[in-house]
Amino acid sequence: MTGTGRPARRLSNEQVIVLQDPDDAAFAPFGEFVKPPAVSERRAFYSAHFDPRPETAAPVVHVNRVAPSVLPLVCAGVERHPHAAQCFVPMDVSRYVVMVMPSDENGDPVPAAAQGFLVPGNRGVIFRPMVWHMGACVLDRDGNFVVMMWRGGPGADDEFRSIPPVTLMEPGA
Predicted structure pTM score: 0.88
The domain spans of the chain are 30-35+57-169
Residue 78 to residues 56, 66, 161: CA-CA distances in angstroms?
A: 26, 16, 5
Residue 134 to residues 48, 54, 82, 168: CA-CA distances in angstroms?
A: 23, 23, 15, 11
pLDDT of residue 6: 43
How confident is the model over 104-125, as a mean pLDDT? 96
pLDDT per residue as tens digits for the range 64-96: 999 999 999 999 999 999 888 999 999 999 999
User: 47 Cβ partners below 8 Å, 6+ apart?
Assistant: none
Q: Reduced to 3 DSSP states, what percent helix, strand and coil does the chain have, rounded to the nearest 5? A: 5, 45, 45
SS3 letters across 129-155:
CCCEECCCEEECCCEEEEEEEEECCCC
| CATH 2.60.120.480 is right for the domain spanning 30-35+57-169 | yes
pLDDT per residue as tens digits for the range 17-50: 999 999 999 999 999 999 988 888 888 899 999 8
State whether residue 35 is helix, strand or coil. coil
